[in-house]
Amino acid sequence: MQNSTATAAKAVQLIAASERLTLDPFRDVDWSIEVEDDRQYHLPPEKLPLFGTPQWDAMSEAERRTYSRHECAAVCAAGIWFENKLMQIVLRHLATLPVTDPAHRYLLVEVADECRHSTMFGEYIRRAGTPTYAPESGGSGLDAVDDLPGGRAMGYLLILAVEELLDTTNRATMRDESIHPVSRQIAKLHVLEEARHVSFAKTYLTEMWPTLPESERAEAAAIAPFAVDYVARLMVNDDLYAELGIDGGGDAARANPHHQARIVGDLAKLTDFLTKLGVIDDTNRAGWVERGLAA
Ligand SMILES: [Fe+2]
Ligand SMILES: [Fe+2]
């Protein structure tokens, strides 16, 4: 195994952190509160893809709150889909590690975290009174990520992209006292536990990226914006607009300058990190900007 001192030390630290704080969604979220209730927003309005569009302006306040419940269920569904894909990347990594490597134990903790998160997201959807939305790509995307140039590093780059993207919405949701309490509790649980996953992925990438051959780094850097774009596009789900009878909702969301700026903002921690790592530099930054992933 290549130089993995920092990753091993981080794994030891994160195992200890997990022992101090691991949450159980069936104990730490109050499911006695009715989820299918539109007296409150389920996500902050400014995090909704239609916010500020003519379709948004045409909705009553009650319709906007209902729409937020559907968007929250769609984000939960995307979360389940992402976590399934990310766990597969982590499990393939685990299969290559000796059991004596601290990362072996830590990555099992991370998979266990994701299993609880997905059961939590599923519980919200089951109680939300919405369809079980799913990303439209059907599920094959991200499956072959380890075969891309950069291999496992590309896998962790995508893990980080998903985690940073969801984290920003989660943080805004947990802090906003006007949001439905179940939605806030889910968001808080996810923020607290995902901080460890983000920390591991960043440490791993910081250590592994410079060890890749230069040609492979160049190829991986060229593919990275396409991969992150794929993930960011899953934040708009056409089925949801069809369900709610909002004509042209998906196209309006994708063309919405507020939504586009939100994606750039939500990815800022990722793009800053990738710039420090050298994945994004002056020669390729324009590609990230063109795809609406960076400013
Ligand atoms: Fe998670
Ligand atoms: Fe995670």
Per-residue pLDDT tens over the stretch 228-248: 998 899 899 999 999 999 999
pLDDT at 156: 92
Domain-located, residue 35: no
Average pLDDT over residues 69-93: 94
CA of 87 to the centre of ligand 2 (A): 8
Distance CA 78, CA 162 (A): 10
Q: Give the ligand with the smallest distance to the CA of 90.
A: 2
CA of 200 to the centre of ligand 2 (A): 10
Distance CA 63, CA 67 (A): 6
CA of 113 to the centre of ligand 1 (A): 7
CA of 197 to the centre of ligand 2 (A): 5
Domain-located, residue 71: yes
Q: Give the ligand with the smallest distance to the CA of 163.
A: 2
Residue 2 pLDDT > 60: no
pLDDT at 146: 75
Q: Give the ligand with the smallest distance to the CA of 86.
A: 2
Domain-located, residue 195: yes
CA of 149 to the centre of ligand 1 (A): 26
168-206 confidence digits (pLDDT tens): 999 999 999 999 999 999 999 999 999 999 999 999 999
Domain-located, residue 253: no
Distances (CA, A) of 291 to 35, 82, 278, 287: 36, 21, 19, 6
Domain-located, residue 240: no
CA of 223 to the centre of ligand 2 (A): 22
Number of domains the chain is built from: 1
Q: Give the ligand with the smallest distance to the CA of 87.
A: 2
Distance CA 176, CA 178 (A): 5
Residue 123 pLDDT > 50: yes
Q: Give the ligand with the smallest distance to the CA of 160.
A: 2
CA of 62 to the centre of ligand 2 (A): 33
Residue 280 pLDDT > 90: yes
CA of 194 to the centre of ligand 1 (A): 6
Residue 140 pLDDT > 80: no
Domain containing 188 — which CATH number? 1.10.620.20
Q: Give the ligand with the smallest distance to the CA of 120.
A: 1
Domain with 15 in it: 5-25+60-229
The pLDDT confidence band at residue 137, using thresholds 50, 70 and 90, is: low
Domain-located, residue 42: no
pLDDT at 1: 46
Share above pLDDT 90 across residues of the chain, in percent, rounded to a whole number: 87
Mean pLDDT value across the chain: 93
26-60 confidence digits (pLDDT tens): 999 999 999 999 999 999 999 999 999 999 999 99
The pLDDT confidence band at residue 143, using thresholds 50, 70 and 90, is: confident
pLDDT at 3: 46
Residue 118 pLDDT > 90: yes
Domain-located, residue 154: yes
CA of 57 to the centre of ligand 2 (A): 35
CA of 248 to the centre of ligand 1 (A): 31
CA of 262 to the centre of ligand 2 (A): 21
Nearest to 90 by CA among 142, 125, 42, 148: 142
Question: With 0-12 CB in 10 A as exposed, 13-18 as middle and 19+ as buried, what is 199?
Answer: middle
Share above pLDDT 70 across residues of the chain, in percent, rounded to a whole number: 96
Domain-located, residue 207: yes
